[in-house]
Chain A
C-alpha cells in the first residue's frame, strides 16, 4: 500500500465517520434513554430504533440515487426543500422527545412499571423510530454518494480500499456509539438522562438552524436584519472545525435577528419542559 493510497484511505474513513457521526449520536442518545429500563422496554425500544435506522438507510440509498442518477428531479430548489423538511421534522421531533421524557420522568419517576408503560404510549415508539430514520436518512444520502463516487473514480486503486476504509470509518463511528452506551450504563440514570437530553436539544437546535437556512435561502422567510454581530474572530463558521460545530449545534458567527428569535423560541420551549408547573400547560 503506497502512502498515496494510505492517505486516500484515511480520508475516506474520516469523511464516513464525520458524515455518520450525527446519525449515530442520535441513535446512541435514544438507546441510552432506556439503558436503565426493564429488559422488555429495552427490547421494544431497540426494535423501534433499529427499524427506524433500517428505513433511514433505505431512504438514504433512494435519495442518493435521486441525487445522482435522476439528478434532474432533485436539482436546485427541490433538494433544498427536501432538506428543509427533513431538518425541520427532525428538530421538532427532538424537542418533542425531550419534553415527553421530562414529563414522563416527573409523573412516574418512582414507579418503573408505569414509566415503561408511559414510554409505550401515544405513538412514542413511532416517534423513536422516525427520529432514528430521519437521522440516518439525512446524513446517509451524502455518505452513499461519496462512497459510490469514490468507487467510480477508481484511479486511486481497488474497490477494496474504498470498501475497507468506508467500513473503518463506520466502525469508528460505531465504537463511539458503543462507548456512549457503555458509559451510559455506568453513570446514574439521572446523569444519563440529563446529559442525553442536553445533547439532543443541542442537535435539535443545529437542525432548526439548518432548516431556517434553507427557508431563507429559498426566500420563504427573510432574516429580518443584517448580521447583528460577528464572532468569526473567535470561532469561524465558514470552514473547518467551526463549520462542523455550526452544523451540529447551530452556532452562527454572524447571526441576523430571525435566527436569534428562532433559537430563543426553541430554547424557551425546551426550558419550559424543565420548569415543572409550566410544563404541564405546555404539553396540554
Chain B
C-alpha cells in the first residue's frame, strides 16, 4: 500500500466516524479491571476467531492505558472511567497487554482459543 492510499479512503472513514456502531447483542463480553497498575484478571481467556467485547474499568486513583501492539489496541482511561474494546476475529494465541502508564507492574495475558 502506498502512502497516498490512506488519503483516498478518508471520506469513507469520516462516514464511519459519523454513523453509530451497532454492537450485536450475542457478543460475549469480558470485563477487565485496572487499579493503579494492577490488572485483574491477569489471565483472560477469550474465544478465537469470534467477535467479542472487552469492557475496561479503571477502579484506581490514577489514569491507565490499555496497550498491546500484538492485539492492535490502545485505550486511555481516567480514574473512575470505563470504556470498551471490540475484537472482531482474533487468531488463537497468547497475547500480552499492559498498562502503559504503570510500566513497573507486570503485564497481563489474553489467551484466545
- Closest chain B residue to A263, Cβ basis: B1
Contacts of A154 in B (CB 8 A): 61
In B54-81, which residues have CB < 8 Å from any A CB?
60-63, 65, 67-70, 72-81
Identify which of B1, B85, B98 contacts A239 (C-beta below 8 A).
Answer: B98
Contacts of B87 in A (CB 8 A): 217
A217 touches B72 (CB 8 A): yes
Bound CA span A152–B73, Å: 25
B61 vs chain A, min Cβ distance (A): 3
Pull 11 A–B residue pairs with CB atoms less than 8 Å apart, ordered by A.
A67-B78, A76-B84, A78-B21, A88-B6, A88-B7, A149-B63, A152-B78, A153-B62, A238-B70, A238-B96, A261-B1
Bound CA span A212–B76, Å: 20
Q: A79-B75, A92-B4, A239-B107 are in contact. Are A153 and B61 (CB under 8 A)?
A: yes
The interface of chain B, by Cβ under 8 A from chain A, is: 1-4, 6-7, 10, 13-14, 16-17, 21, 23, 60-63, 65, 67-70, 72-81, 83-89, 91, 95-98, 100-104, 107
Identify which of B17, B77, B88, B98 contacts A219 (C-beta below 8 A).
Answer: B88
Identify which of A85, A142, A262 contacts B14 (C-beta below 8 A).
Answer: A85
A262 touches B1 (CB 8 A): yes
Number of interface residues of A (CB under 8 A): 60
- Closest chain A residue to B75, Cβ basis: A79
B13 touches A81 (CB 8 A): yes
A4 vs chain B, min Cβ distance (A): 12
Contacts of B85 in A (CB 8 A): 76
User: A96 interface residue, CB < 8 Å from B?
Assistant: yes
In A1-60, which residues have CB < 8 Å from any B CB?
11, 15
A269 touches B2 (CB 8 A): yes
A237 touches B14 (CB 8 A): no
Contacts of B81 in A (CB 8 A): 68, 71
Given contacts A15-B101, A68-B81, A149-B62, 18 further A-B contacts (CB under 8 A): A77-B86, A78-B21, A83-B74, A84-B13, A88-B7, A89-B7, A89-B10, A96-B3, A152-B80, A217-B88, A218-B16, A219-B88, A237-B69, A238-B95, A238-B98, A261-B1, A265-B2, A269-B2
Contacts of A116 in B (CB 8 A): none
A238 touches B21 (CB 8 A): no
Q: A243-B67, A247-B69, A269-B2 are in contact. Are A78 and B17 (CB under 8 A)?
A: yes
B69 touches A76 (CB 8 A): no
Pairs of residues from A and B, 6 with the lowest C-beta to C-beta distance, nearest first: A149-B63, A88-B6, A153-B61, A238-B96, A213-B72, A149-B78
Bound CA span A95–B4, Å: 9
User: A148 interface residue, CB < 8 Å from B?
Assistant: yes
Bound CA span A156–B61, Å: 9
Q: When each residue 234-251 of chain A gets 1 if its CB lies under 8 Å from chain B and 0 otherwise, what string results?
A: 001111100100110000
B78 touches A145 (CB 8 A): yes
A274 vs chain B, min Cβ distance (A): 16
Contacts of A145 in B (CB 8 A): 63, 76-78
B79 vs chain A, min Cβ distance (A): 4
Bound CA span A27–B1, Å: 26
Bound CA span A111–B51, Å: 59
Contacts of B67 in A (CB 8 A): 243
User: A127 interface residue, CB < 8 Å from B?
Assistant: no
Q: A71-B81, A89-B7, A149-B63 are in contact. Are A76 and B1 (CB under 8 A)?
A: no
In A57-99, which residues have CB < 8 Å from any B CB?
67-68, 71, 75-79, 81-85, 88-89, 91-92, 95-96
- Closest chain B residue to A7, Cβ basis: B104
